[in-house]
Structure 1
Amino acid sequence: MTKSVTDSSGSNAGHLGGLALAIAGAVLFSTKAVVAKLLYRYHIDAVTLIAFRMLFSLPVFAAVALWQMRAGPPLSTADRWRLVGLGLVGYYASSFLDFLGLQYITVGLERLILFLTPTFVLLISATVLKQRIGRLQWIALAIAYAGIILVFVHDLDGGGDVVLGSLLVLGSAATYAFYLLGSGELVRRIGSLRLVAYAMCVSSAACIGQFFLLRPAGLLIQPAPVYWLSLVNGLLCTVAPVFMTMTAVQRVGAGIASQAGMIGPVSTLFLGAVILAEPVTSWQLAGTALVLAGIYLLSRVKKAS
Structure 2
Amino acid sequence: MRLSTVILPIHRWGEGQKTWRRAEELGFHTAYTYDHLSWRTFRDGPWFGALPTLTAAATVTDRLRLGTLVTSPNFRHPVTLAKELISLDDVSDGRVTLGIGAGGTGFDATALGQEPWTPRERADRFAEFVPLLDRLLTQDAVSYEGDFYSAHEARNIPGCVQRPRLPFAVAATGPRGLKLAARYGQAWVTTGDPKLFEEGTPEQSRAALAGQVDRLGAACAEIGRDVGELDKILLHGFTPDRNTPLESVDAFVDFAGRHRELGFTEIVVHWPIPGSDFAADEKVFERIALEAPAHLR
Q: Normalization by structure 1: what TM-score?
A: 0.24
More RCO (CA 8 Å, sep 6+)? 1
- Between Structure 1 and Structure 2, which shows a larger proportion of helix residues? 1
- Between Structure 1 and Structure 2, which shows a larger proportion of strand residues? 2
